[in-house]
Amino acid sequence: MTDSDTPLRVLVWGENRHEQLEEHVAALYPAGMHGAIAAGIAEQAQVPIEVATATLDDPEHGLTEEVLAATDVLTWWGHKAHREVSDEVVDRVQQHVLAGMGLVVLHSGHFSKIFKRLMGTTCSLRWRNDAERELVWTVAPDHPIAAGVPHPIVIEAQEMYGEFFDVPVPDETVFLSTFAGGEVFRSGLVYRRGRGKIFYFSPGDQEYPVYHHRDVRRVIANAVDWARPDVSQRSLPGLVRVGEQQDWTAHASLPEPAR
């Protein structure tokens, strides 16, 4: 959907387990974490947008072929139940990303099946849950994902994520975070895979009200807009057998469209 008047169709996927099982999480996120993330995108979006949600316990985790085909950008938050996500659904989501659907992976989603599948690495990291101050610094000041946020974003209490973060070298690094304990983390990372754009953003944890933070919401809203497909028709890059050598300059052999 390249027409900026057509609403961007965002689907916020949430695991929705901590909210059911832990009272203090439910208190922080009465509409679920997915509810808070969806509300934040709607609040901070700078373009026309439609936001829906889906969760692990929905049939097919709410990620049927029909739903994905009607989604421009998917956001992903999961933590304790990564293993319960079916491989068949992961296959399907991967195919849609490679065919052009945007994907925004949040916080503990670094260990989700879909992120590890797209990265090819362990996606492991260092961590400590000690309610530390996180500062999110912009190192690509003109990147659209960094528009409208302070330098740094101040998050009063957060789980610490630290290096080494075992991911491929990113195509672009937008944010770096530091923590009160002195650690550093590459916290805002851009990847392109197939025809899809992927953004990983580390702030966000079930134990802190991070998804109510205005600046965190703005980054996620920026990211879903940035990740929107450049093409209207979704298509997976495919093996193409080319016919015999062409006489490129002949008028009869007009080249095909690039996309």
Q: Is 86 in the site for a second copy (CB under 8 A)?
A: no
Residues between 120 and 139 that touch a second copy (CB under 8 A):
120-122, 124-128, 130, 132-133, 135, 137-139
For residues 157 and 224, the answer to whether their CB atoms sit within 8 Å is no
CA distance linking residue 194 with residue 236, whole number of Å:
7
Nearer to a second copy, 55 or 187 (CB): 187
Q: Structure tokens of 256?
A: 């095909």
Number of residues engaging a second copy in binding (CB under 8 A): 85
Q: Is 98 in the site for a second copy (CB under 8 A)?
A: yes
CB of 87 to a second copy, least distance (A): 11
Which of 118, 115, 11, 106 has the alpha carbon at shortest distance from 66? 11
Residues between 204 and 243 that touch a second copy (CB under 8 A):
229-231, 236-243
Q: Annotate each residue in 139-178 with x if it binds a second copy (CB under 8 A) or - if it does not, as one string.
A: x-xxxx-xxxxxxxxx-x---x-xxxxx-xx-xxx--xxx
CA distance linking residue 47 with residue 164, whole number of Å:
36
Q: Is 101 in the site for a second copy (CB under 8 A)?
A: no
Q: Is 24 in the site for a second copy (CB under 8 A)?
A: no
- Provide the residue type at 169 as one letter: V
- Whether the CA torsion 210, 211, 214, 215 is positive or negative: it is positive
CA distances from 149 to 25, 27, 192, 218 (A): 26, 27, 23, 7
Q: Is 184 in the site for a second copy (CB under 8 A)?
A: yes
